[in-house]
Structure formats: C-alpha cells, structure tokens
Amino acid sequence: MRRHYPLHLHISTLLLALILVVCATIAAIGYRLSSELLSTSAADLTVRASREAQAEVRRLIEPAEMATRLLSLQPVTQARSLAERLQSLDFLRQALDSSPALSSLYVGYDNGDFFLVGRIGHGSTAERARAPAGTVYVVQSVERGAGAARGHFLYFDAQLQKLRADERPEYAAAYDPRQRPWYVEATSAPTLIQTPPYPFFASGKVGTTLAKRTANARGVVGADILLHTLDQLLASQKATPASQLVLATADGEVLAHTTQASALTAPLDRKPGTALARIDQLGVPALASLLPEVITRGDTDGDALRVTSGGGYWQVTIAPLRLERMPALYLVSVIPEDELMAAALQLVKHSASATLLVLLCTVPLTWLLARSISRSLADLASEANAIRHFEFSRPIGVQSTIREVNQLALTMDEMKRTIRRFLELSHAVAAEQNFARLLPRLLADTLAASAADAGVLYLSENGDLSPASALQGDGSPMSGPPSLRTASTGPLLASALAAGRARSGRLQAEDFQALGLPVEDDRHAIAVPLLNRSNDLVGAMILLCPST
C-alpha cells in the first residue's frame, strides 16, 4: 500500500531540496570559475617568469658585451709578456666590477698565450681552498715562448695588492685557448659571438661566453658570464611550494632550476668536463616525461598540458625564451593540481559549510512556513469531513494568506450554506400542508440559495405556464408576470424545456418580451424546468441573476 505523508512534510522537503540544489550549483560554479582563474593565473605566471628570465639574461649580458668590446681595444691585446699584461689589471678589475654576473675577462693570443682576470669566488671549490686569505681576484696566465709553456696563478686582494704567486705548469700543459670553442668561433666571426650555455672548464658552473676578435686580429677577447642568478629568479616565481620551474635548452639540458636555489646556498658545482643534466635527471617525476615535449617543441608559443605523475595531476606550461645570439631556451613549469586548486577546493569547503549552516537555519523556518500553509488546508479538510457528517451548525472561518485557499474556504462555506438551505427546504416541503404557502417559500429559499435578484415560479396548466409566485431577492413580491404559452416562452426558457434540464445565459429581447420584463443590456438568468418522476412537465422556474 502506498504511503501518504502530510503536506507540510512535502513542502519542507521541497524547499530544503531547492536550497541544497541552489547552494550546490553556486559552489560548483564557484569551483569551476576559481579553477579556471587559478589555471590562467598559473599560465600567466609562467609567461611572466619567462619574460623576467629574458630580462635577467639581458641584464647579465649587456654589461659584459660592453666590457668585451672595450677589452678588444685595450693595450693588453698587444702585450707580449705577463708583466706587460698586468699593467692592464686595474682596467680589467673595473670592468669585472661593472657586472656581478661577470665571472672573468680574458685574452687568448694567436701564439697560444692566455691571460685571465677573475673573481676568486667564481672559481671551483678546490681553487677557492688554495687561495690565500683575503684573496678577491685571481690572474691565470699561460706563456708559450721558445721553451716550455709556463703557467701562473696570481692572487690579489681588493686593492690589487699581490698576495701570492704560484707556478702551474700543469695548467699551461692542459689549456690552450686556441682549441676552445669560443676562440675558434670568434676568429671566423666579424662581430661579437655568444656561445650556448655550457659548464665552464675551470669551475664546472653553468654560464655563457662572449667573445670577439681583437682590433689587431692577433687574438680573441672573452668574458664568462655566470647564469646562477637565474636559479634565484625561478625560485621567486614558484606558484606553489611543490611547483617546479626549469630553464632548459632545446636538447632538454637544465640551465637553471628552482630546487638548486632552494636547496643550496651557492650555485651547484659540477666537475670540469661534465655535461649538463637533462630535465629527466632532476629526480622530479613530473618533469621526466616532458623531455620529448621540450626536444620537439620548436619555436611555438607556450601552451598548457596536463600530465599524470606520482598518483596526481600536474599542470604543465612550456614557454620559449627568445634571446639574441642564443639558441632556443624553454621555461618549463610544472604545478601539482592539488596545490594549484587548493584555493578552489577551500572555496568548495566553505560553500559546503555555508550550505550546511543555511540548511540548519532554514529547517525550523521552513517547517513553520510549511505548517502555516498546510494548517489552513487541514482545517478545510476538517470542515469537509464535518459536511460529510451533515454538521452545518457553524460557518467555515478558515483564514489564509494564500488566495486560492481563501477562495476554496469561501466556496465551501457557500456550499455548506446551500446544502443547509436545501435540507431546510426539504424539511419545509415535507412538513408544509398548505400548497399556497409552500410555493412562495420554495421560491424564496431557491433565491437565497442561488443569490438571484428575483425569480418567478410557474405551474403548468393545460399547456400554459401560469405564474404561481414571483418574488424579489429580498423576499418582497414582484409585479405580476404574465402567463406563458409553452410555444412562446422566449429562447432561454424554451431551450431548457426542450432539453429537460436547467439552462443559463444572457436574456435576449425575445426573452424580456415573453417574460414581461423591462429590457436590460446585460441581464443573465437561469431557466429550470420542473419535472415529475414520469418526466412530465409540472412547472418551471426563472431566476434573474445579478448583472455582471
């Protein structure tokens, strides 16, 4: 058997479900918009980091370019001995100080000689350990004369006071500038050249070299630029704690990486001669799968990818860096989605909490509202049950703010009064012995029950309809209407007699003429034929209704 539930329970459930759906929809829309905003912000952050990396590289290189061009015009390019070359030490020191990224300035001569001035802190760890205390600059020299090549390391303080001089024959035997890529490329180039980033021979640190032929064409001047500041730059652009930013070459070799800056106080040292690490060798699973993407990227603009790694999803952006005189570089950004979408998920949690709070607050309010709506209907149901038990002693007094409920209450009250009148009329008819008094009472009760303005009760005699009673709505007598021939009663009464059932409608001119009534523009009436059990006509009743 199908169960039935109270109306207030249906209303409460509907309202609460509607609130829940609305809140869930708002939360879903908020999560989607927040996710899109965060994803867009992450992509924009990568593009911004790419631009800042470009600007940082230019900031590092431009002073070095100027120093290299000036160095190519200096007397040191024509000096034949270490003593002559040291006379330009102050100029080289000032040129070095013009850019913190400048690691060293040097001259390679066509006879195999080499002269370098560099910062002691930019060399290898072993070289820093061998330098005397207070060393700021180091001079590395190779001289090739008639005898064996001579190598020297000279250590200077900040005022260019020599602290110590070491002979390094092994250095002279191992290093010939004419065999270095920067020397070979610069001798065949008419202008300044820049090498792709690579690990420096002495320190193993990642940098790039600027080189230019000297003005006398007897050698090549060069400048080594460290790119270690890019690590700190990338670390400052991290979107989330676990996100990774990597600056890589077109071959996937890593030039800068956020982990280096965050894990080490100094740039990562590499042993001389080692190759650059690839992005799949950094120990970050999300980066390992991106090596083919970087290698095949070409010069296309950065776009967003989504990869799965370590049981989670990562947002990936690969943006190209376009630098003058340098091969293509790429900034690779990987951000875990659980961190990127943390704010959006937090918004969903807040929305869920707010929804629960709203539901808790609205449950009693909804219950009270539903009860107030259903109470009036329950009262009407009780009144209908009273009518079913023929209880007509009290009127229906249901009041509601709902218009339809009020209309139903009024209709039921009218129905209750009508039924009561007809019952009273039935009792009166059964008890009345005087037929002359019965007819006016019957007409008066009918007028009261139908709320008509006036009425005429006709009796059928020899084919005519004779008026037996004519009353106004207030019970006063109505001026005597004429008798009617059943063949000429007017359209409304004729249709009711022909059909054998009540008819209602607007009276026409013929109706007014037949009934002996003054013509009115908008008068409605009800025509009721009176039939006995044999369905024979015994009379008729005309009820004149109020004008609309």
* pLDDT band with cut points at 50, 70 and 90 for residue 476: confident
Please compute the mean of the pLDDT values over residues 316-328 and round it to a whole number. Answer: 75
Please compute the mean of the pLDDT values over residues 491-501 and round it to a whole number. Answer: 88
Query: Which structural domain range is residue 475 located in?
Result: 435-544
Shared domain for 215 and 265, answered yes or no, is: no
Query: Which of 360 and 150 is assigned the larger pLDDT?
Result: 150
Please compute the mean of the pLDDT values over residues 437-465 and round it to a whole number. Answer: 82
Q: What pLDDT was estimated at residue 213?
A: 94
Does residue 204 surpass a pLDDT of 80?
no
pTM here is 0.52
Q: What pLDDT was estimated at residue 123?
A: 67
Q: What pLDDT was estimated at residue 417?
A: 73
Does residue 265 surpass a pLDDT of 80?
no
The verdict on residue 487 lying in a domain is yes
Q: What pLDDT was estimated at residue 273?
A: 46
Last residue of a domain, one of 206, 224, 242: 224
CB 155, CB 120: distance < 8 Å: yes
Q: What CATH number should be reported for the domain holding residue 24?
A: 3.30.450.20
The verdict on residue 188 lying in a domain is yes
Does residue 483 surpass a pLDDT of 80?
yes
Number of domains making up the chain: 4
CB 462, CB 511: distance < 8 Å: no
* pLDDT band with cut points at 50, 70 and 90 for residue 271: very low
Beta bridge partners of 250: none
Beta bridge partners of 220: 108, 213
Shared domain for 269 and 178, answered yes or no, is: no
The verdict on residue 134 lying in a domain is yes
Query: 118-176, pLDDT tens digit by residue?
Result: 988 776 677 788 899 999 999 999 999 777 889 999 999 999 999 999 999 998 988 89
* pLDDT band with cut points at 50, 70 and 90 for residue 264: very low
Last residue of a domain, one of 379, 412, 431: 431
The verdict on residue 360 lying in a domain is no
Query: Which of 429 and 252 is assigned the larger pLDDT?
Result: 252
The verdict on residue 2 lying in a domain is no
Which range of 32-41, 45-54, 339-348, 402-411 scores highest in mean pLDDT? It is: 402-411
Query: Which of 57 and 84 is assigned the larger pLDDT?
Result: 84
Integer-rounded Cα Rg, in Å, for the chain is: 54
181 sits in which H/E element:
helix 181-187
Three-class HEC string of 2-63: CCCCCHHHHHHHHHHHHHHHHHHHHHHHHHHHHHHHHHHHHHHHHHHHHHHHHHHHHHHHHH
Alpha carbon distance 228, 246 (integer Å): 13
| DSSP E strands, 272-377 | 303-309, 312-321, 329-336
The verdict on residue 411 lying in a domain is yes
Mean pLDDT of the chain: 79
Please compute the mean of the pLDDT values over residues 314-342 and round it to a whole number. Answer: 75
Alpha carbon distance 228, 206 (integer Å): 7
The verdict on residue 9 lying in a domain is no
Query: Which of 426 and 359 is assigned the larger pLDDT?
Result: 359
Does residue 500 surpass a pLDDT of 80?
yes
Query: 230-245, pLDDT tens digit by residue?
Result: 777 677 766 677 777 8
